[in-house]
Amino acid sequence: MKTIADIQAIRDKMKSQIVVRDKDTSDEIRVIVGMATCGISAGARPVFNTLMDEVANRQLKNVKVVRTGCLGMCTLEPIVEVLEPGKEKVTYCRVTPAKAKEIIDRHIVGGNICTQYLINNEE
């Protein structure tokens, strides 16, 4: 038999798992990962997983991690884009799980763009 505390624990645990299904788009930040063949072979999957875990662990309700197809710059994959409402798109390239963690920590939570990983540096 479960106690009230048990039910609340189940709720909190499950909530983080189903947050993917909320589709309120008004003020959400979208983190987009290029996951075509090029992205996946360059290591986009662990990056994507890291982003998802970070967002879930920090309970960032307004952040959605989604995949997209090939962004066209296959050599720079894995590419991660951050779309914040009312702000310009930020594109990171050659992202690794470690960099992904930093992006969530400094950019999404802290509000400071990680300029050293920006695609602008590649030009």
Partner 1 sequence: MFRSHVLVCGGTGCHSNRSEEIIKQFNRQIQACGLEKDVQVVQTGCFGLCAAGPVVIIYPEGAFYSHVKIEDVEELVSEHLVKGRIVERLLHKDEEDEPNKLKALSETNFYKKQTRVALRNCGVINPENIDEYIAYDGYQALIKALTEMTPQGVIDELLKSGLRGRGGAGFPTGRKWQFTKDAPGDIKYVACNADEGDPGAFMDRSVLEGDPHAVLEAMTIAGYAVGAQQGYIYIRAEYPIAVERLRVAIGQAREYGLLGKNILGTGFNFDIDIRLGAGAFVCGEETALMTSIEGHRGEPRPRPPFPAVKGLFGKPTLLNNVETYANIAQIILKGADWFAQMGTEKSKGIKVFALGGKINNTGLVEIPMGTPLRQVIEDIGGGIPNGKKFKAAQTGGPSGGCIPAELIDIPIEYESLLSIGSMMGSGGLIVMDEEKCMVDIAKFFLEFTVDESCGKCTACRIGTKRLYEMLCKVTDGKATMEDLDKMEQLCYYIKENSLCGLGQSAPNPVLSTLKYFRDEYVAHVRDKICPAGVCKSLIRYKIDPTKCVGCTLCARNCPANAIRGTVKQPHVIDNDLCVKCGACESRCKFKAIYKEGGKK
Q: Which is nearer to partner 1, 36 or 113 (CB)?
A: 36
What distance in Å separates the CA atoms of residue 83 and residue 97, rounded to the nearest whole number? 19
E strands within 10-118?
Answer: 29-34, 63-68, 80-83, 90-92
In the three-class reduction of DSSP (H, G, I as helix; E, B as strand; rest coil), residue 118 is classed as: strand
Q: Which is nearer to partner 1, 30 or 113 (CB)?
A: 30
Q: How far is the CB of 7 from partner 1 (least distance, A)?
A: 6
What distance in Å separates the CA atoms of residue 54 and residue 120, rounded to the nearest whole number? 25
> Applying CB under 8 A, which residues contact partner 1?
1-4, 6-7, 10-11, 14-18, 20-21, 23, 25, 33-37, 48-49, 52-53, 56, 64-69
Q: Which is nearer to partner 1, 10 or 98 (CB)?
A: 10
Query: Which DSSP letter does residue 62 get?
Result: T
Q: How far is the CB of 116 from partner 1 (least distance, A)?
A: 26
Copy the structure tokens of residue 41: 């072979």
* Residue among 69, 63, 74, 61 at smallest CA distance from 100: 63
Q: How far is the CB of 91 from partner 1 (least distance, A)?
A: 16
Q: How far is the CB of 119 from partner 1 (least distance, A)?
A: 19
Q: Which is nearer to partner 1, 7 or 98 (CB)?
A: 7
